[in-house]
């Protein structure tokens, strides 16, 4: 299997992706729902896997419609946002809003779980790292000549924690010996 090349982050590329998705009323996904099977017949029957279609753009636009109605826009006018004829051409503030909301949610001690998709299960969280000091021997990458011993001191900082494993329903466990 070929390695996936991960591109550097580009705000422009992200905004273009969001603009394309937010204007495609057919933009949807299937969320995987996994439940333990109460009466498994064998090891391969431990989980019941179903999927549920989520209309991503339509659900987002319904949220905007509710906001418009709450501020006094009449029902017929606010419903225009649900039409494919309505185009949202500016998404500049969305990246700042969503990234900061997710960061602050995680910084408050919460884990952010992505919706499960077929073959994917993952979470993000923020780890608080204490002040640390480490010494190591440094060698030249070209000649492997010893350059000396260096001490690296890190102040307290935060790092992103990732938890992502093979979903249980895709694992097969078989006894191979006693």
For the chain, give the mean pLDDT.
Answer: 90
Gyration radius of the chain's alpha carbons: 24
Instruction: List, for residues 28-83, the tens digit of each pLDDT value.
Output: 998 888 888 787 777 667 777 788 899 999 999 999 999 999 999 999 999 999 99
Q: Using the predicted structure, report yes or no on whether residue 166 has a pLDDT greater than 90.
A: no
What confidence score (pLDDT) does residue 77 get?
93
Structure tokens at 30: 């299937």
Interhelix angle 11-22/56-70, rounded to 10 degrees, is 80
pTM of the model: 0.75
Instruction: List, for residues 120-163, the tens digit of each pLDDT value.
Output: 899 999 999 999 999 999 999 999 999 999 999 999 999 999 99
Q: Residue 100 — pLDDT band, cuts 50, 70, 90?
A: very high
């Amino acid at each position: 299997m070929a390695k996936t090349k991960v591109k550097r982050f580009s705000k422009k590329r992200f905004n273009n992706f969001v603009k394309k998705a937010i204007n495609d009323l057919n933009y949807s996904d299937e969320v995987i729902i996994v439940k333990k099977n109460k009466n498994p017949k064998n090891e391969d029957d431990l989980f019941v896997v179903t999927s549920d279609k989520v209309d991503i753009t339509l659900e987002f636009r319904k949220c905007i419609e509710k906001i418009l109605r709450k501020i006094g826009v009449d029902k017929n006018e606010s419903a225009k946002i649900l039409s494919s004829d309505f185009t949202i051409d500016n998404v500049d503030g969305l990246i700042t809003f969503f990234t900061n909301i997710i960061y602050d949610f995680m910084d408050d001690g919460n884990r952010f779980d992505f919706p499960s998709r077929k073959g994917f299960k993952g979470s993000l969280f923020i780890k608080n790292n204490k002040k640390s000091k480490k010494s190591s021997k440094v060698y030249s990458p070209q000649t492997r000549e010893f350059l000396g011993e260096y001490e690296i001191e890190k102040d307290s900082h935060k790092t992103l924690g990732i938890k992502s494993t093979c979903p249980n329903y895709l694992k097969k466990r078989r006894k191979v010996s006693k």
